[in-house]
Amino acid sequence: MGPAVQPAGPFSFLTDWFEMLTIYTVPVATYCAKLRVMMRHKSIAWEELPPPGGYGSAEYKAIVPSGNLPAMIHDGFTLSDSEAIAEYLNEAFPETPMLPDTIHLRAKAREKGRFHDTRLEPAVRAMYAQVAYATRDAGAVQVGGDAISKHLEALALLLDDPVLPEDQLWLCDCGFAVTFAWIKAFQQAFDMPVVWPEIVVTYEARIHQFAAVKDELAHYKPAMDDYLQKAKAPNT
């Protein structure tokens, strides 16, 4: 094992120099938060950096051609897309496996994870446009809340078929905690109407029991709070 590299900043963690894992991200990105939950749970050491030149810059695309976030460089290997990175790291660091050991259970885990990434999270992310008090559209807030409620109903159906052992945190769970936090933040900031099925409430409480989830929510909260500042009415 090589000598440890001292952290370069608040988002850096000890790692061996010859296996340096670098994650490019920005503070408010939900898919980066999802990846951090996974890395925390597996006790993976990483260094976290903003994209050089800023998101979408030519400088960043010279390193990560897709320009996407998050992205990683591990021992000279570059990869983007949170799910691709998560599955790669799950194999590269096999301790504390986060995918089940049978083909059917892995398929069910991916089904649940894809539901988050392609259904629920995009519907929640669409509400970022309604955060600013000055440009908020009450009709769009209602439509967005209805769409999120429908996705939560669909999630309830997935959760009602509990084929995955519930005493473990799986890759498919890692994105939900921060996405749920955004829904609640929007409800509080501008009264977005959302119906939470009881089984989803129970699921949220279950994943909150894992230290990796608690730690990431605490880490992520300042970025969320900063983003929500523009939700306030003038002089409040």
Tens digits of residue pLDDT in 187-225: 999 999 999 999 999 999 999 999 999 999 999 999 999
pLDDT above 50 for 136: yes
Mean pLDDT of the chain: 90
pLDDT confidence of residue 161: 82
Domain at 103-231: CATH architecture: Up-down Bundle (1.20)
The Cα 35–Cα 23 span in angstroms is 9
CA angle at residue 84 from 214 to 79, to 5 degrees? 105
Q: Tell me which of 33 and 17 has the higher pLDDT.
A: 33
Which two tokens mark 92? 């590269």
pLDDT above 60 for 17: no
pLDDT above 50 for 70: yes
Identify the CATH number of the domain defined by range 17-92.
3.40.30.10
pLDDT above 70 for 186: yes
pLDDT confidence of residue 56: 87
pLDDT above 80 for 6: no
* pTM of the complete model beyond 0.75: yes
Share of the chain above pLDDT 70, in %: 91
- Closest CA relative to residue 180, chosen from 215, 207, 212, 146: 207
pLDDT confidence of residue 235: 65
pLDDT confidence of residue 183: 98
Residue 54 backbone dihedrals phi, psi, to 5 degrees: 95, 160
**Taking each helix axis from N to C terminus, what angle separates 176-190 and 30-41, rounded to the nearest 10 degrees?**
140
Domain boundaries, the chain: 17-92, 103-231
Residue 54 region by backbone torsions, left for phi larger than 0, else alpha for psi between -120 and 50, else beta: left
Q: Residue 66's Cα: distance from chain center in Å?
A: 19
Helix, strand, coil percent values for the chain (each to nearest 5): 55, 10, 35
